[in-house]
Amino acid sequence: MKSFGIAAAVALALAGSASAQFVTINEFYYDAPSTDDGKVFAELHGPAGLDISGWRLTNIQGASVASCGQYTNTVIFPANSFIGPDGLFVVADLNGGGTTAVVCDPNHNGGLPDFLAGNMDFENGPDAVHLIDAGGGLIDSLNYGISLCTVDTVNGFTIGEGAPSADVFSGFSLERFPAGFDTANNATDFFVNGTPTPGASLNPPASLVYTNVGGVGNTISLTTGGQLDLAINIAQPNDQYLILVSVTAPTGNDPLGVPFDPVTDLFLTLSTIPNPLVTNFVGNLNAQGQATGTLLLPAGIAALPATIPFYFVALSPVTANGTKTNVVTFNLAP
């Protein structure tokens, strides 16, 4: 009986170890609009019922040369932490009042996060996050943005897997598709999700389709208060769309061909520009898969350079892996 008990214990331990290998950081939302307090979360994917008590998510500095590779924040999962029947586990940030704004899919844990952490506010990129098991082993690593180092200075773990994913703008999360899918390359495994989905898997992304929007290199002349309609024709009825712009010349491309802004390393959502250049920058396509954004020349534009490069792209659904228009360049000439 004793030898059977030992054998059974070894078999169970080996099974648990094997299961742990299939746990991934499935979705990561680290930069909410306005304050992050009580709004951000991380979602794990793995075998239902797996005990992840004592596991931890650790944030690794990647933006500062002096502190690159150092741990900046750690969240430890408490006793009785188990991956749910749907294969997901959500840890969400508590705000200063001891509550959270993170609402999970109603089919996951009654719509509630599995664990509320008081120190879940991880840093914006370029940074990284490690998933480490209770024995100190590295289970998964996500590098978002181009880190200045490749190894953490605490345990010597490699930062990220393969090429880094995008460092998303405020209000967007990084999410795997399909759930738990892992090729050991952050850049190809994670999509930019415009509608974070704690406790639910990302909907299948649309195939990448390019459509023309008014040509490339157009020069338009607008007086103060002038406007120009930007037609969006993506032919995905009723899907959400998002218009992204840059007002500085891009110098590179993301994996799907959208130019990077050399200042922000990403296109800007128009909601982040204090005096938006485009109205109707987010919404729903009509039954024909069409919408119209309006390019404005606001009051005070004369204080800017005489010619302003303007780079425009529309996405639908509001994920960078979805269908998108061609990138169109305009020159605004007051």
Domain segments of the chain: what residues?
A: 22-193, 210-333
Strand partners, 308: 332
Of the chain, the end-to-end C-alpha distance in Å amounts to: 87
Which residues does 4 contact at the CB level (< 8 Å), separation at least 6?
Answer: none
Query: 176: which 2 tokens?
Result: 């795997």
Compute the distance between CA of residue 232 and CA of residue 112 in angstroms, rounded to an integer: 37
Give the tens place of pLDDT for each residue, 302-323.
444 445 555 666 666 655 455 6
Domain 22-193, CATH 3.10.20.30 — does that match? no
Average pLDDT, the chain: 73
CB 232 within 8 A of CB 325: yes
Q: What class, spelled out in words, does domain 210-333 have in CATH?
A: mainly beta
Compute the distance between CA of residue 262 and CA of residue 31 in angstroms, rounded to an integer: 20
Q: Does 77 score more than 70 pLDDT?
A: yes
Q: What is the reported pTM?
A: 0.63
Ranking 42-46, 136-140, 241-245 by mean pLDDT, the lowest is 241-245
CB 240 within 8 A of CB 252: no
